């Protein structure tokens, strides 16, 4: 079995008290997704696609398919919350992604879950 198929890497960031200015800005969210792909040293195959939420759940959802999996970001403008998910079959620097997201959205509070799955 090749090294490529042996591991899965996943970071999930759940944040609150985010800077509200960036949570509803489509072009800014597209730039954030592109920068995360660069940090992970992965090529975007499709996207980023950013869409607005419904009036009763305002915010944005951004998504990009990358050469090893995906990047998704959900923003919630009323509650000033943010969810970021990066999943890959190629290892990437999780701390760089986490630090970038914290700076990009001026996070005051967040929980981060990282998962590495190794297959025998």
**Could you say which of 69, 70, 79, 83 is catalytic?**
69
Computed over every residue of the chain, the mean pLDDT equals 91
**Residue 84 confidence (pLDDT) above 80:** yes
Annotated active-site residue 89? The verdict is yes
91-113 in b/e burial notation, b at 16+ Cβ within 10 A? ebebeebbebbbebbebeebebe
Domains and CATH numbers, the chain: 3-118 (3.60.90.10)
What is the spatial distance between Cα 75 and Cα 24, in angstroms, rounded to a whole number?
7
Q: What's the pLDDT score for residue 120?
A: 59
**Residue 1 confidence (pLDDT) above 50:** no
**Residue 2 confidence (pLDDT) above 60:** no
Average pLDDT (58-74) is: 96
**Could you say which of 18, 40, 72, 74 is catalytic?**
74
**Residue 16 confidence (pLDDT) above 80:** yes
Q: How confident is the model at residue 46 (pLDDT cuts 50, 70, 90)?
A: very high
Q: What's the pLDDT score for residue 21?
A: 85
Phi first, then psi, for residue 104 (nearest 5°) are: -65, -35
Instruction: Tell how far CA 53 is from the center of its chain.
Output: 17
């Amino acid at each position: 079995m090749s090294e490529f198929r042996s591991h899965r890497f996943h970071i999930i960031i759940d944040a609150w008290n985010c800077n509200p200015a960036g949570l509803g800005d489509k072009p800014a969210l597209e730039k954030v997704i592109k920068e995360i792909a660069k940090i992970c040293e992965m090529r975007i195959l499709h996207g980023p696609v950013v869409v607005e939420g419904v009036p009763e759940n305002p915010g944005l959802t951004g998504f990009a398919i990358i050469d090893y999996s995906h990047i998704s970001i959900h923003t919630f403008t009323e509650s000033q919350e943010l969810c970021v998910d990066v999943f890959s079959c190629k290892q990437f620097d999780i701390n760089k992604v986490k630090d970038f997201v914290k700076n990009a959205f001026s996070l005051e509070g967040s929980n981060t879950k990282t998962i590495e799955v190794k297959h025998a």
